Amino acid sequence: MSAASGKGAAKQYAAYIGLDVHKETIAVAVAEPGRDEPLYRGEIANTPKKVERLIAQLSEAYDGGLLLFCYEAGPCGYGLYRQLIASGHDCEVVAPSLIPQKAGERIKTDRRDALKLARLLRSGDLTAVWVPDQEQERKARQQLNAFLLRHGQHWPKGKSRWTPAHENWLAGLKLDDPWQQVVLQSDIDAERAAGERVAQLNDQLMRALPEWSLAPVVDSLVALRGLDKLAAIVLLAELGDITRFDSPKQLMAFLGLVPSEHSSGGRRRQGAITLTGNSHARRMLIESAWSYRFPARQTKHLKAKAANASPAAKQIAWKAQVRLCGRYRSMTRAGKNTKLVCVAIARELAGFLWDIVRQERPRLALTQAPVTGA
């Protein structure tokens, strides 16, 4: 709610104060009622004592009138908000993504940000966010890893998380504050419950798979490196009949894995991928593409998971592995960003996926054909 449309309309403020808040400093600007340009008051240290002094100075300057402060929501939290409210003045924590931006605005400094906040606060063009109280904020702690990091607990770098060793380490942690210990145990229980639910859902999918009409296609798709049965089920469920695409390029475009383009006259410019189509399938392919960062090889694991695949699917999967592993290696050696490389690998992986489904279509039609009795 903006100052003008909400509480700003019901109350008369002596001044509007924009605060550009950082971990160490706060830039301060003041806009008085009317149309005059805001004034910049400089920076103060981001400490409760300095903030208290600022409040006292502003209250004296405006004869004890009611002040309205604002600052952007961010990692500094709501401690400043609570201090300002406790002083008897009003404060809004505003959504950064909803702050109006001028076209062509390229210069960003703490001074400019503070002046801009004060100006927009006075005009009522800012959108405030909901501020939780301290008890609600405690319950809304971030995920377990971030919680432990804030309290100086570090799992050794390089070791895998969520292994039995990691679980035992979590179970043995003792924090000084009893409430912190409660939050820790709550997060651990939530993680275990989520893991158990995922395992149950995965088990149900595997039991239902043999009765699915696309089960033979799933068996062949897992021949591809990076795709297990769950990934294959997700891709087929999200994409439907892949053979409806006349070419691999159509499938790549549907997945949003092709570069965007802005061409005019004789100039051709390509940008980031389009991100159109099915985001779940696109994310699954990009995750699968990471496995091609290793050299191509026929491991015992790959042979076992491809046991039920057709010979044609195995041949395509090996061709894909040789091609994509080589592409990953050559692109990274050329200095390409690894994330961009994985997107490029995912795009080509979609082509091999299309080829396997196309090869499996006759066999799938045969298994679904009605049985004619003697």
Spell out the SS3 assignment of 289-357.
Answer: HHHHHCCCCCCHHHHHHCCCCCHHHHHHHHHHHHHHHHHHHHHHHCCCCHHHHHHHHHHHHHHHHHHHH
pLDDT the model gives residue 184 = 67
Angle, vertex CA 278, rays to CA 276 and CA 279, nearest 5 = 85
Angle, vertex CA 80, rays to CA 76 and CA 86, nearest 5 = 155
Residues 6+ away with beta carbon under 8 Å from 312: 220, 356, 359, 360
Helix 229-239 with 279-289: angle, nearest 10 deg: 150
**C-alpha span between 147 and 238 (Å, rounded):** 35
Q: Helix, strand or coil for residue 3?
A: coil
The DSSP bridge partners found for residue 17 are 30, 69
Q: Where are the alpha helices (DSSP H) in the chain?
A: 7-10, 48-61, 79-86, 110-123, 134-139, 144-150, 164-171, 178-208, 215-221, 229-239, 248-254, 279-289, 300-305, 311-333, 338-368
DSSP state of 99: S
pLDDT the model gives residue 7 = 43
Q: Check: CB of residue 273 under 8 Å from CB of residue 256.
A: yes
Query: Residues 108-167: pLDDT tens digits?
Result: 899 999 999 999 999 999 888 777 655 544 543 345 566 666 556 666 766 766 667 756
pLDDT the model gives residue 183 = 64
Dihedral sign from CA coordinates of 78, 84, 85, 86: positive
pLDDT the model gives residue 3 = 41
CA–centroid distance for 180 within its chain: 26
For residue 170, CA distances in Å to 50, 55, 174 come to: 39, 44, 9
Kindly report the pTM of this predicted structure. 0.51
pLDDT the model gives residue 9 = 45
Angle, vertex CA 154, rays to CA 153 and CA 159, nearest 5 = 150
pLDDT the model gives residue 171 = 72
- Please list the pLDDT of the chain residue by residue as tens digits (374 residues): 344 434 434 689 999 999 999 988 999 999 999 989 999 999 999 999 999 999 999 999 999 999 999 999 876 778 899 899 999 999 999 888 788 887 666 678 999 999 999 999 999 998 887 776 555 445 433 455 666 665 566 667 667 666 677 567 777 777 766 766 776 676 666 766 666 766 787 788 888 888 888 888 999 999 999 999 989 998 988 888 888 889 999 999 889 888 876 656 666 667 778 887 778 889 889 999 999 999 999 999 999 999 999 999 999 999 999 999 999 999 999 999 999 999 999 999 999 999 999 988 766 554 444 433 43
**C-alpha span between 114 and 71 (Å, rounded):** 8
Q: State which H helix or E strand residue 39 sits in.
A: strand 39-45
pLDDT the model gives residue 151 = 58
The DSSP bridge partners found for residue 18 are 29, 70
The DSSP bridge partners found for residue 90 are 68
**C-alpha span between 123 and 90 (Å, rounded):** 16
For residue 209, CA distances in Å to 3, 13, 213, 223, 239 come to: 57, 66, 9, 17, 17
